Amino acid sequence: MSRFVLVCGSIGGGVPILWLITYHLYPRLIESLLSFSWSDGILLCLWPFWVLMIGDPLDSSILLPGLAVALNSLFYGVFGALLWAGLNKSKVYIAVFIVLILVFWTLLISLYY
């Protein structure tokens, strides 16, 4: 179980780190991707704590991206633990997990839009 949770947490940390590296190396590419109306929604689904980055519009903070990456990694780790429990113990965990994810993303998207 711990290996599965670690892999999920690593994916949760890897997605925003890859995005931030691409943002700093190829800012025009990121700007063109964000010009599409659907790209914000996809980024919000893959990196829910991306909304924290709105608090630093000048990109001058190092702490805020680090916090957003750490929280996303933790979120994906909890996601992995609940998924593991649902697949190996009780199917009730999966139902509870799906409801929690839907509520979380609904609240997050309602705050963003």
Express each pLDDT in 17-69 by its tens digit: 998 888 888 888 877 877 777 777 777 778 888 878 877 777 778 888 899 99
Which residue range forms the structural domain that includes residue 50?
A: 2-112
The total number of structural domains that make up the chain: 1
How far lies 110's CA from each of 34, 96, 102, 104, 105, in Å?
19, 21, 12, 10, 8
- Residues 30 and 18: their CA atoms lie apart, in Å, by 12
- Residues 40 and 35: their CA atoms lie apart, in Å, by 9
Question: Is pTM, for the whole model, over 0.85?
Answer: no
What is the distance, to the nearest Å, from the Cα of residue 71 to the centroid of all Cα atoms in its chain? 8
